[in-house]
Structure 1
Amino acid sequence: MTMGMTRSPGLVVPADWTHEVGRAAAIVRTAESLPWGCDLQGENDMTLPLIRLSGPPLALALVLAGSVPAMAASPTDAGVGDTNAGDNGQLGEITVTANKVSSNLQTTPVAVSVLSGATLDREHIANPVDLSNKVPGLTISNAGNYPPNATLRGVGYDGLQNNSASPGVSINQNGVYLGTPVSLFTDFLDVGQVEVLRGPQGTVFGQNSDGGAINVTTAAPQLGKLGGSAELSYGSYQYGRARGTINLPVGQTFALRASAQVTDQNGYMNTPNMAGNKAVGDTHNVITRVDALWKPVDRLSIDVWGEYFHSFAHGSAVKNSVDPLTDPRETSNDYYAPQRITSKIVAGTVAYDLDFATVKSITSYQSLTYRAPWSGDLLDHATAVSLYGVKDQLPINDRFADTWTEEVDLASRPGGRFSWIVGAFYLHTASHINVLEFQQTTPIAYTPTLDPAQAGAMYAAGMNFESISHQRHRSVALYGQATYDITRTLKLTGGLRYTWDRSTAETSSYYATPVPMKSEFNGLTGKVALSWQVAPTNNLYAQFSTGVKPGGTNLNPVAVIIPTAFRNELVRAYEVGSKNEFLNRKLRVNVSAFYNDYRNLQLDSEDPLPYEGGMTNVAKAHVYGIEAEATALLPAGFRIDANAAWMNSKVDSDSYFLDPYIAQGINRTYGIYTAADLAARAAAFENIKGNQLPRVPTFAAGGTLGKTTEIPGVGTLDTSLQLTVRAAHWGRIYNRAGTDRLPMLTLVNFNAHLDIARTRFYTELAVTNLFDVATLTSTYAENFGVGGIYQVFAPPRQVIGRIGFKF
């Protein structure tokens, strides 16, 4: 049976929806794409008087197996969500949990984009990083051996080298807030749906975040159903992927769902100066998940799941902007720096129906190990010494984190004139950062150690920087949100959240005595929204909301200007939107316009003292823009899914900062800590007022042209051509033409998926970066080390073939 059921509630189709057996094959094909599944009610052999959407879609296929051939489930499409066409040729309804309860996307007054698990496969979106430019206003930048930077509407994560910095875009999986942005590296596996909420999440969702949230919902276990799927892939650069899922019922009240995936691919960026030419940009990932659901009685459900993810790579496909090798897929780096990530999550959800409301408890424990040694110059030794005077190496660049979360909420029964939810959230993260850096003029063999007794020998070997930081982050929140139906067409929603957030750290550098640091915040955030259903398929909404990104502590105990603790980032967001369906629900168009007023925007800057830089704050900045998503069902099986965003941003306050790239150049010119060095660094602070914010392209758009073709005797063929366009923009807030400008990006992908007739098998061909463009996609600066500017280019064309089946 199909494994496509997600964690959405059942819905009932009106009783007058009947279908002739002659149309059963079409029902089977379309039922697979419904996110709820189907169970039959009624015993009429010729018609289906009532379908209750709660079980697996292919239950219908089993009932009709004697009269129609079995068809493999085809993947759904998702422009403005999982909007596959029903057998009546209309766009299907999309269920979202943007307000912590299930609701129809078109009547939910929130800017939210939805992608089904099938869409992730079709567009080769392997992990959250690949969502970049797939959603209006969202960019996710690769930062090499540091965590990715997800940015929504101008708010991102600029504290790449600071473990206490919080992301502006939070990541949640099955209602669990994931405590580190390293989670963006984790592969997608057995996903039911991904929702991207655009705008501040200052009321009901997990950790407070002022940019937005990415909510991942995996497919849930199904009671009483035995089924599964398996798939094999092979492609360019020795790409191989094997994955499988099985759903095992144990009696009528317990079910177990297990999924696993192994991905292996050789690197595409050559390293001619590295021993063995270990090409980087490779992938060697394993992810497994086991999910157990127990429903001893109708009122009670207990869902416990565990996930393990391990990743190994020889290195990141990143280049220094001054690399003498001009080929964007070649690096002169000669320092072997493998990356290892190990993530473990155990979580459980207990829900109980109290008649008037449902009480729910979500508990999780998360453990992360991230080891990412690397070369701070990404050049061969001779080039590094000629340009920087030294070869920069970080044999130790480790992060460890353990996170506990607990959330309890009480939500009213849906359907009333007054609906509400109240809850509490708790987060505790204990993390550690170990950094050891060497800068040498001649290669010296050494065994790095963090033993202070060896400090003298390590200095002699060229030790440039050492730091150990132990940090704790605690957050407690109380929240509530309610919606009141003023009339049948006019609804008012209000929400409020109180957050207490505290970060503490004990940080030492160069084996000195640890220095205690603290950052604390408490305050209210909230929202108010008014929605008006102008017509049955047309809705307008307006809302005002606030959000906060917690502050944190720096690794700079003796800084002069850069604070040891940076402040919380705040946003006041204004938004209006329109959600519409036209042409008998064959065209869906959702549009939103927003203005975000930011205070204390967090960013990186250098200090007058070398190696004492870190996170600081810009007093005022703003971003405004228009976002649109559309889906159209066209004649002859054609379909268009499209999205676009236009944005403008600016720093509004006088803000004097020292660009790390400039600061490191001054160090090389005058020598570190000389009088001339310190004087030049102090004079190099610049006012960035009027600069545009990083990773905010003025225009970005994406579209998919798809076609479904029935081939007699062969099967159902779904083909799609995907286009992504992004305007030139700035990668850093310093807006330097020579180092920070990202060019226009245009990428084209192709996919063809065939459900083979009269079998449960399917086959697929995917081509990414069809025209093999090598456009620069992201850039970032190393705040310490030699202060290089590092560049990431679009991966080369890749051709992948797949074969799989579902039972």
Structure 2
Amino acid sequence: MRAAASVMALAQLVPAVAHAEDAGAAGAEAPSASTQLETITVTAQKTKTGLQKTPIAITAMSGDQLAKIDIRSAIDLDRHIPGMTVSDSGAFPVNITIRGVGYDGLQNLSAQPGVAYVENGVYIASPIAVVSSYLDVGQLEVLRGPQGTVNGQNADGGAINVTTNMPKLDAFHMGVEGSYGSYNYQRENGMVNLPLTKNLAFRATVQHEAHDGWYYAPNYPGNDHIGSQNAWTARGTFLWTPTDRLTVTVWGELYSNDINGVGARNMIDPIAGVRATSNDYATPEQTRSRIAAATAAYDLGGATAKFSTSYQYAFINNRNSADSLSTAQALEYYGVKDNIPEHSWGLNTVNEEFNVASKPGGRFDWIVGLFYQHTSGNENVFETQQGSSLIGTPYTIDYSAAGNPALYLAQQAAYGLSFASVSNAHRNSAAGYGQLTWHITDKLRLTGGLRYSWDKYTAHTAANFNIADLKSEFRKVTGKASVEYDVAPHSTLYASFSTGVKPGGANLNTSSTQIPQSFTHEFVRAYEIGSKNEFFDRKLRLNVSAFYNDYRNYQTDSEDPLPYQGGQTNIPKSKVYGLETEVSLILPQGWRIDANATAMGSRVDSHMHMLDAYSAQAINRATGGPYGTGNVDARYAAYFASDVYGNQLGRVPNFSTAMTISKSTDLPFGKLDAAVDANYRSPYWERVYNNPATDRVGSQFMMNLNLHFQPKRGPWYLELQVTNLTDSSDIATRFAENFGVGGVFDVYVPPRQVIGRVGVKF
């Protein structure tokens, strides 16, 4: 039963969530760290409010708390946040899903994530940038439920709000840290805070993180282990306060990561071992992100005016094996060796936002604002499928075949060209929003907000035989209404209705017959009731929320009956519902428990024909390949025979829980902080097709250990961290390729790592 008994023991305890506990972290104020829970301030509404008086389901964690449970980037949030799954899909962007809404169009440049990502108040447009390391973080907030009023571009799933530590004007601060562990894991980082004048300070942080690969790949060119990473993150921030009323913040961030090969395994790969692949095609990947941003806030007296602007660049380029098998096995299973020598995305974004918000303490709290964003991007895809007669035939990457039928067919015959596409796209988004909270009495509050959003996406695309100009556009009003009532000084009930939208986009299917060339926006109506409580002189925090989300035009992937014409489509009606609980508990003698639990369900409520790429490619192989009469007829028959009505949505586990047990012990020569965290997630469907052979992801259980020693004298500290304490070999993500040969790939949780760390702060 593996760790089932441990899981059930954890589930019997009051479920809870890890909260910020560092008194120096953004928004955290600890009256007595050992006897009372900290007061947490969040910025979920673009103004500072108390966590317990904000009518939204929010998880907040400090930078110290992130380190204790080994959260180094957004990927590591998986299984730690109620209602959230994070899928690492190898060669494609990370898919963050909250309450059933995520980012199903991983292979589509125009598709947008359903979870907004915000750093220091700036909306981060590219999902590529989300994977950057959490460096020098003050506080992280995860907002669950649609953020269709004041946050980002608009989002129907939720938002991740990261606040990094700002420069301090009062004194010089510095810190350095070094780590080494299993699989040649290395992490070195440093921070310096420099007061330049009484009104100007600069803070710089830099980090290098690397490890060897833990996927065994005996056939891989030049290396028998893949998945190694070499990442650099750097951030510089200026804080300037020229007057008592004006505060200016300017910051820039760089992220770079090089991977020597995609750590994923085709589920049909016969090679022995869990983290093993027979792939013999080199699959290096480069990810780059650059952000430059500035924010100016001016005190108007009873309100604060704030303007922010940013430029963002994101790029990803990878060579990918669409089968992840050895050449011999690929020919045996698929009839071809399917390689992608180039798949690149490049995105340039400029966004600007202006808002005016009242100061807290009055009868009315309000905010009004404007948001604008322009993104231009390009996507290039080049793919070959070489049968036994063409294996090893040399070629050059030549995109002139895209949109040129004669040249495409000639190169297909010469060396097996199977897909060539060049897409240049632009997206413009604009919005105006406002929100008002009325303090009717000291105990009763009403909140209402509206947002008008306009979004237009255009793309000039050359794909295989055709050239097309594609467009997707919408105008939508979203918003929220909520009521809160304090039934006791530290107990609040709330009920809310909110809406949110995820923009639509365009596919690369210039001659499709059933799947639209442009897919429409996704929309949600969300109903939530909740209770936020603190008991026993603030030793116990218990937050509970129940939600029902009614989705329209849910975005997901489907193949078209005509080969190579699949893409994003919309399911008219679906729903997700659930119950989330969060608890933090202070116990005697330095003990503390933080944990969470979520129960969810989902269902497709519309009859909808869809064709799974895995099934479509099986038809292609059985009927001698695409475009033959028998092939197309069989694909049409399979498409119209399918119906996803009644299926569960992807990445909605029925149950998940996580718990951190920590203890702070004063020793004669210092202080020892120990933390053990464990998390469990029930099996779930990765996609809406609910195919037991390809979509079922099994249960997952993970444990981590962290020991932190701080001596009484001296600024140094020691740390020991053990991740995946039980050496679990669970599947973290099962990713089904939408194109190529329709392969299905498993990404496993990282193996156990033992990491030692030493640092100095002063």
TM range (shorter): over 0.9
Q: Give the Cα–Cα distance (whole angstroms) in 2 for the partners of residues 774 and 768 of structure 1.
A: 13
Who is 1:368 aligned against? 314
Who is 2:10 aligned against? none
1:282 CA displacement = 1.5
Who is 1:780 aligned against? 735
1:36 CA displacement = 6.0
Q: Which amino acid in the other structure matches residue 712 of structure 1?
A: P
Q: Give the Cα–Cα distance (whole angstroms) in 1 for the partners of residues 217 and 21 of structure 2.
A: 46
Moved more, 340-349 or 771-780: 771-780
Q: Give the Cα–Cα distance (whole angstroms) in 2 for the partners of residues 410 and 315 of structure 1.
A: 47
Who is 1:460 aligned against? 414
Q: Give the Cα–Cα distance (whole angstroms) in 2 for the partners of residues 498 and 451 of structure 1.
A: 41
Who is 2:336 aligned against? 390
Q: Which amino acid in the other structure matches residue 658 of structure 1?
A: L
Say whether the 8 Å CA contact 1:448–1:458 is kept in structure 2: no
Who is 1:496 aligned against? 450
| Residue 579 (str. 1) matches residue 579 (str. 2) | no
1:260 CA displacement = 0.1
- Which secondary structure state, in structure 1, belongs to the residue aligned with residue 373 of structure 2? strand
Say whether the 8 Å CA contact 2:292–2:310 is kept in structure 1: yes
Match of 2:673 among 718, 725, 737: 718
- Which secondary structure state, in structure 2, belongs to the residue aligned with residue 691 of structure 1? coil
Who is 1:737 aligned against? 692
| Residue 636 (str. 1) matches residue 625 (str. 2) | no
Who is 2:381 aligned against? 435
CA separation of 1:87 and 1:618: change in aligned 2, threshold 3 A: closer
Who is 1:701 aligned against? 657
Q: How does 1:101-180 map to 2 (within 5 A)?
A: 101-180=47-126
Q: Give the Cα–Cα distance (whole angstroms) in 2 for the partners of residues 730 and 520 of structure 1.
A: 31
Who is 2:323 aligned against? 377
Say whether the 8 Å CA contact 2:372–2:429 is kept in structure 1: yes
Could you give the per-residue CA deviations for residues 415-435 of structure 1, whole angstroms, max 9, x where no partner exists?
A: 101110000000111011000
Say whether the 8 Å CA contact 2:245–2:299 is kept in structure 1: yes
Who is 1:477 aligned against? 431
Q: Give the Cα–Cα distance (whole angstroms) in 2 for the partners of residues 760 and 680 of structure 1.
A: 70
Q: How does 1:621-770 map to 2 (within 5 A)?
A: 621-670=574-623, 671-685=625-639, 686-713=642-669, 715-770=670-725
Say whether the 8 Å CA contact 2:662–2:674 is kept in structure 1: yes
Could you give the per-residue CA deviations for residues 601-634 of structure 1, whole angstroms, max 9, x where no partner exists?
A: 0000000111100000000000000001101011
1:777 CA displacement = 1.5
| Residue 321 (str. 1) matches residue 267 (str. 2) | yes
Moved more, 343-352 or 87-96: 87-96
1:275 CA displacement = 2.1
CA separation of 1:83 and 1:304: change in aligned 2, threshold 3 A: closer
Stretches of structure 1 lacking an aligned partner (at least 5 in a row): 1-30, 38-80
Could you give the per-residue CA deviations for residues 699-732 of structure 1, whole angstroms, max 9, x where no partner exists?
A: 000001111111102x110111110100011111
Could you give the per-residue CA deviations for residues 216-255 of structure 1, whole angstroms, max 9, x where no partner exists?
A: 1100011132101110000000000100110000110000
Say whether the 8 Å CA contact 2:233–2:254 is kept in structure 1: yes
Q: How does 1:303-322 map to 2 (within 5 A)?
A: 303-322=249-268
Who is 1:48 aligned against? none
Q: How does 1:527-606 map to 2 (within 5 A)?
A: 527-606=480-559
Say whether the 8 Å CA contact 2:21–2:28 is kept in structure 1: no
Q: Give the Cα–Cα distance (whole angstroms) in 2 for the partners of residues 35 and 108 of structure 1.
A: 21
Q: Give the Cα–Cα distance (whole angstroms) in 1 for the partners of residues 110 and 272 of structure 2.
A: 36
Q: Give the Cα–Cα distance (whole angstroms) in 1 for the partners of residues 266 and 33 of structure 2.
A: 53
How many pairs are equivalent? Answer: 732
Who is 1:266 aligned against? 212
Who is 1:20 aligned against? none
Runs of 4+ in 1 over 6 A off after TM superposition: none
- Which secondary structure state, in structure 1, belongs to the residue aligned with residue 430 of structure 2? strand
Q: Give the Cα–Cα distance (whole angstroms) in 1 for the partners of residues 106 and 25 of structure 2.
A: 39
Could you give the per-residue CA deviations for residues 379-406 of structure 1, whole angstroms, max 9, x where no partner exists?
A: 0000000000000000010000000000
Q: Which amino acid in the other structure matches residue 404 of structure 1?
A: V
| Residue 450 (str. 1) matches residue 402 (str. 2) | no
1:780 CA displacement = 1.5
Say whether the 8 Å CA contact 1:209–1:547 is kept in structure 2: yes
CA separation of 1:185 and 1:354: change in aligned 2, threshold 3 A: same
Q: Give the Cα–Cα distance (whole angstroms) in 1 for the partners of residues 400 and 104 of structure 2.
A: 31
Match of 1:796 among 751, 754, 757: 751
Q: Give the Cα–Cα distance (whole angstroms) in 2 for the partners of residues 387 and 428 of structure 1.
A: 44
Say whether the 8 Å CA contact 2:21–2:65 is kept in structure 1: no
Say whether the 8 Å CA contact 2:653–2:683 is kept in structure 1: yes
CA separation of 1:345 and 1:583: change in aligned 2, threshold 3 A: same
Q: Which amino acid in the other structure matches residue 727 of structure 2?
A: D
Q: Which amino acid in the other structure matches residue 805 of structure 1?
A: V
1:35 CA displacement = 3.5
| Residue 249 (str. 1) matches residue 195 (str. 2) | yes
1:207 CA displacement = 0.8
Q: Give the Cα–Cα distance (whole angstroms) in 1 for the partners of residues 115 and 365 of structure 2.
A: 27
- Which secondary structure state, in structure 2, belongs to the residue aligned with residue 681 of structure 1? helix
Q: Give the Cα–Cα distance (whole angstroms) in 1 for the partners of residues 273 and 160 of structure 2.
A: 35
Q: Give the Cα–Cα distance (whole angstroms) in 1 for the partners of residues 224 and 433 of structure 2.
A: 51
Say whether the 8 Å CA contact 1:141–1:149 is kept in structure 2: yes
CA separation of 1:575 and 1:158: change in aligned 2, threshold 3 A: same
Who is 1:46 aligned against? none
Say whether the 8 Å CA contact 1:171–1:183 is kept in structure 2: no
Q: Which amino acid in the other structure matches residue 438 of structure 1?
A: T
Structure 2 length as normaliser, TM-score?
0.94
Q: Which amino acid in the other structure matches residue 508 of structure 1?
A: A
Who is 1:414 aligned against? 360
Say whether the 8 Å CA contact 1:767–1:797 is kept in structure 2: yes
Who is 1:487 aligned against? 441
The CA RMSD over aligned residues, in Å, is 1.4
Q: Which amino acid in the other structure matches residue 351 of structure 2?
A: T
Q: Give the Cα–Cα distance (whole angstroms) in 2 for the partners of residues 648 and 395 of structure 1.
A: 40
Q: Which amino acid in the other structure matches residue 694 of structure 2?
A: T
Q: Which amino acid in the other structure matches residue 443 of structure 2?
A: T
Q: Give the Cα–Cα distance (whole angstroms) in 2 for the partners of residues 87 and 343 of structure 1.
A: 38
Who is 1:282 aligned against? 228
- Which secondary structure state, in structure 2, belongs to the residue aligned with residue 147 of structure 1? coil
1:185 CA displacement = 1.5
1:184 CA displacement = 2.3
Q: Which amino acid in the other structure matches residue 546 of structure 2?
A: A
Q: Which amino acid in the other structure matches residue 751 of structure 1?
A: N
- Which secondary structure state, in structure 2, belongs to the residue aligned with residue 684 of structure 1? helix
Who is 1:57 aligned against? none
Q: Give the Cα–Cα distance (whole angstroms) in 2 for the partners of residues 590 and 446 of structure 1.
A: 60
Stretches of structure 2 lacking an aligned partner (at least 5 in a row): 1-19
Who is 2:3 aligned against? none
- Which secondary structure state, in structure 1, belongs to the residue aligned with residue 620 of structure 2? helix
- Which secondary structure state, in structure 1, belongs to the residue aligned with residue 352 of structure 2? strand
Q: Give the Cα–Cα distance (whole angstroms) in 2 for the partners of residues 742 and 378 of structure 1.
A: 19
Q: Give the Cα–Cα distance (whole angstroms) in 2 for the partners of residues 258 and 310 of structure 1.
A: 17
1:781 CA displacement = 1.0
Say whether the 8 Å CA contact 1:750–1:768 is kept in structure 2: yes
CA separation of 1:687 and 1:32: change in aligned 2, threshold 3 A: closer
Match of 1:355 among 285, 298, 301: 301
| Residue 100 (str. 1) matches residue 78 (str. 2) | no
Q: Give the Cα–Cα distance (whole angstroms) in 2 for the partners of residues 191 and 321 of structure 1.
A: 37
Q: Give the Cα–Cα distance (whole angstroms) in 2 for the partners of residues 125 and 85 of structure 1.
A: 26
Q: Give the Cα–Cα distance (whole angstroms) in 2 for the partners of residues 238 and 614 of structure 1.
A: 40
1:443 CA displacement = 2.0
| Residue 33 (str. 1) matches residue 53 (str. 2) | no
Q: Give the Cα–Cα distance (whole angstroms) in 2 for the partners of residues 95 and 459 of structure 1.
A: 63
